[in-house]
Amino acid sequence: VATRATAGATLDLVHEALLEAISPLLTARGVKAASLPKPSLLAVGVWTRPDAKEPLGPPVGYTAPTKVYYAPEVSGSLGAACGVSGLSEGEYRLAALQPLGPGAPLYMANNDWVVSETRYMYGDWAEESLLQAERALRVAGQPRPAWLDAGYYEQRVASVLGADRRAAGLELTGLAAA
């Protein structure tokens, strides 16, 4: 995760490259690239597992991002494991959920953008994607679906999202009721 404060020039370069790549799409829609705001955050997924022999990861193998699992007794904090000083699970979840920031109505929901201590890992399950999707719907003002267990929703969607947003100093108003 890179922020404007820690990597402003890099964010600008990535933004310019992205605008250049999608310029035909913008032109077709009548959107001027200069009208689009510059990013304040960049979150990057890990597509390979680097090691001493292949510091950028092997040239073959994984074809999708991998979750961030860490073991405090091995790697220390999440921030140390990711190389981002002070990074918390809540910050990671919020950045993955709304990669353009809390003011932009763009949401990501995929089990490949999950962070967890290894002791809580129980495999690749669609549940992680669905939890992110439910959190996104809650931020967008949608209530809990009637079919979804209220206790489960409160524990895994509402309370996690609320704690992450409070820690980040974000408003809880506008969130759908649990």
The Cα-based distances of 122 to 22, 111, 117 in angstroms read 38, 12, 11
SS3 content of the chain, % helix, strand, coil (to 5): 45, 5, 50
| Residue 24, pLDDT above cutoff 70 | yes
State the average pLDDT over residues 115-131.
Answer: 80
Residue 54 or 147, more confident: 147
pLDDT at position 157:
93
The CA distance from 133 to 71, in Å, is 26
Q: Are 89 and 161 in contact (CB under 8 A)?
A: no
Q: Are 172 and 158 in contact (CB under 8 A)?
A: no
| Residue 2, pLDDT above cutoff 70 | no
Q: Which pLDDT band holds residue 111 (cuts at 50, 70, 90)?
A: confident
| Residue 59, pLDDT above cutoff 80 | no
State the average pLDDT over residues 108-124.
Answer: 79
pLDDT at position 66:
64
The CA distance from 28 to 30, in Å, is 6
The b-or-e profile of 13-45 (16+ CB within 10 A means b, else e) is ebbeeeeeeeeeeeeeeeeeeeeeeebebbeee
